[in-house]
A and B are shown apart, each in its own frame.
Chain A
Amino acid sequence: SQKIEQNSEALNIQEGKTATLTCNYTNYSPAYLQWYRQDPGRGPVFLLLIRENEKEKRKERLKVTFDTTLKQSLFHITASQPADSATYLCALRYEGGYSTLTFGKGTMLLVSP
């Protein structure tokens, strides 16, 4: 069955460092992968989308890589700030599922001042 895995352990880092989050998937051949941010008690907010033919995508302090051979995406936040503390979710479009997205369980990031 199709599966998306994200590190369930919270990631604790110091302000100013680079945070790197991992998303691994199996039994998918996704055309693209998305990353979302979710704050407690709120809905996820879209951050970045990367297509299968793109190795890397950047937006301000965010960078996403996509390795379809390893079936893995890495999400980086450079010069992290306490305001970056949140849960980060990766999502793949379910094959044949039109607009349906399948989400990983997310990784909580905690940035200490």
Chain B
Amino acid sequence: KAGVTQTPRYLIKTRGQQVTLSCSPISGHRSVSWYQQTPGQGLQFLFEYFSETQRNKGNFPGRFSGRQFSNSRSEMNVSTLELGDSALYLCASSHPGQRSTEAFFGQGTRLTVV
């Protein structure tokens, strides 16, 4: 079966702009989580969606938002971009039926803010 797909793979934006990243989970997976990865901070949790509802949120400012559609596809949006938002943004899907389930990650979107 197809893996987690993230688009675009690379993005260059200017400070102050906004950006939308997309994630298509594995078919049948209804849980989608987003992470930001930087060299200094590692993988940091942004938010998790399940059945179109955000059920967990990390410690990020309100400029970071997301949503999930009825087909489980998810988008995250970052408004008023700052240089510090440059990072690899990773999306992971998992099967909600098992509490100890593994996460399946996409290739990520590399965002560069200039």
A interface, CB within 8 angstroms of B: 31-32, 34, 41-46, 49, 51, 89, 91, 93-94, 97-106
Contact = CB atoms under 8 A, between A and B. Distances in A.
Contacts of B92: 43, 101
Contacts of B102: 34, 46, 49
Given A31-B99, A49-B100, A104-B42, A99 B31 contact: yes
Contact of A32 (B56, B100, B104): B100
B43 A103 contact: yes
Contacts of A46: 102-104
Interface residues of B, number: 28
B10 to A, nearest CB: 10
A41 B94 contact: no
12 contacts: A34-B103, A41-B108, A43-B106, A46-B102, A49-B100, A93-B100, A94-B45, A97-B56, A98-B48, A98-B50, A101-B92, A104-B42
A88 B24 CA distance: 25
Contact of B94 (A43, A89, A99, A102): A99
Contact of B107 (A32, A42, A97): A42
B70 interface: no
Contacts of A98: 31, 48, 50, 55-56, 96
B108 A43 contact: yes
B22 interface: no
B78 to A, nearest CB: 19
A11 B100 CA distance: 29
A62 to B, nearest CB: 14
B45 A41 contact: no
A89 B92 CA distance: 15
Nearest to B44: A103
Given A43-B106, A43-B107, A105-B42, A100 B56 contact: yes
Given A34-B103, A51-B100, 19 more contacts: A31-B99, A31-B100, A42-B107, A43-B4, A43-B90, A44-B43, A44-B103, A44-B105, A93-B99, A94-B45, A94-B56, A99-B96, A99-B103, A101-B45, A101-B92, A102-B45, A103-B42, A105-B43, A106-B43
